[in-house]
Amino acid sequence: MGFKLEAQGLEIELGIKPAGGVYIHEEIIPRMLDQLILDIKQNNEVRNPLIVDRNTSVVLDGMHRVAALQRLGCRYLPVCLVDYSSPRIQVGCWYRVIQDWVSDSFLLEIFRSLGLSIEPSSFEAALKELEARKATAALFTMKSCYLVRAPKTDIVESYRWIKRFEAAAEGEGLHISYEMEHDAEWQVRSGKAPAALLVPRTTKEEVVQTALSGEVFTHKTTRHILPARPVNVNVPLSWLTGEKPMEEVERLLVEYLSGRKVVRLSKGSVFDGRRYDEELLVFR
């Protein structure tokens, strides 16, 4: 039994799981993994737990932490267990924002070079086409909006096309950031950025099915929004090596967390250099 908290109508449980007992749903980026391994070794702790569905053991957030701890030889993982079927947990996505001032035609040519078709659209119509899975993506610029279509594919393959565009754009010297949907739209409408690539949202069923099949989405496919997210848990790395039985490690974790104060930060707060679109449960 782990350490339980109530998070705006959703029970979350901080605990321990075997390192080989979870399923990731997004790919691992080698350079990000290498940096995370260095950070964990330097701090000798895992700051934030993985977010894991208690019913399927699918990792919702923390793919690189799973890989890093496995690479470090850890037998256990610090987790935050949630009921993924709860309507309190939502799935968003990350829009790709172009940070360099280039013309619409320059960006459209990148899509055409990949063999993708382009069609003018309104912003509202593009969102509906993405929701209906009738478009692979949509390019939203300060002046226009365009639907981007690939040969008929499933959602996993659609994100592979999006990744190909990112690689081609970066090959042209462009810089891309990943932003929450409303932030990306605001950046373009306010003139802070020239364009954003709108992408489709996955469903919870697609996340679970993909993970359990052993397949993975590309990086930054999903953005899971919880009623509240625990951070700054700081689990000592030495607890995760497997030298102690897992039940004893979980008991140590519960005792450790019971002696700490939980500070709640409201939605939109910035913590550790990142703005969160959910309430934070900060352990002090």
Asked if residue 153 has pLDDT above 80, the reply is no
Residue-wise pLDDT tens digits, 53-95:
999 999 999 999 999 999 999 999 999 999 999 999 999 999 9
82 and 141 part of one domain: no
Please tell me whether residues 216 and 257 are part of one structural domain.
Answer: yes
pLDDT (tens digit per residue) in 180-232: 999 999 999 999 999 999 999 999 999 999 999 999 999 999 999 999 999 99
pLDDT of residue 193: 98
Distance linking the first and last C-alpha atoms of the chain: 22
Residue-wise pLDDT for 224-271, tens only, equals: 999 999 999 999 999 999 999 999 999 999 999 999 999 999 998 899
Residue 120 makes CB contacts below 8 A (sequence gap 6+) with 144, 145, 146, 147
* Element housing 2 (H / E): none
Calculate mean pLDDT across residues 129-146: 96
Q: Are 63 and 107 part of one and the same domain?
A: no
Of 149, 166, 200, the residue at which a domain comes to its end is: 200
pLDDT band for position 6 (cuts 50, 70, 90): confident
CATH number, domain containing residue 269: 3.90.1530.10
Reduced to 3 states (helix: H, G, I; strand: E, B; else coil), residue 39 is helix
Tokens of 195: 């364009």
| Residue numbers of the domain that contains 151 | 94-200
* DSSP secondary structure string for all residues of 70-88: HHTT-SEEEEEEE-TTSTT
Q: Is the pTM of this model over 0.85?
A: yes
Q: What's the average model confidence in pLDDT over 99-109?
A: 97
H/E run at residue 239: none
The CATH number that applies at residue 173 is: 3.30.1760.10
The angle at the Cα of 130, spanning 125 to 135, to the nearest 5 degrees, equals 95
What's the total number of domains in the chain? 2
Average pLDDT score, the chain = 96
Tell me the percentage of the chain whose pLDDT exceeds 70: 100
CA 50/CA 55 separation, integer angstroms = 15
- Which of 173, 200, 227 is at the close of a domain? 200
Q: Which two tokens stand for residue 194?
A: 């020239």
| Residues 6+ away with beta carbon under 8 Å from 270 | 276
Same domain, 183 and 106: yes
Domain shared by 79 and 98, yes or no: no
> pLDDT at position 240, please?
98
- Both 251 and 218 in one domain: the answer is yes
H helices present in the chain, as ranges: 30-43, 63-71, 104-113, 123-131, 155-171, 181-189, 204-213, 246-258
Residue 109 has what pLDDT? 98
Q: Which of 151, 178, 200 is the last residue of a domain?
A: 200
Is the pLDDT assigned to residue 22 strictly greater than 80? yes
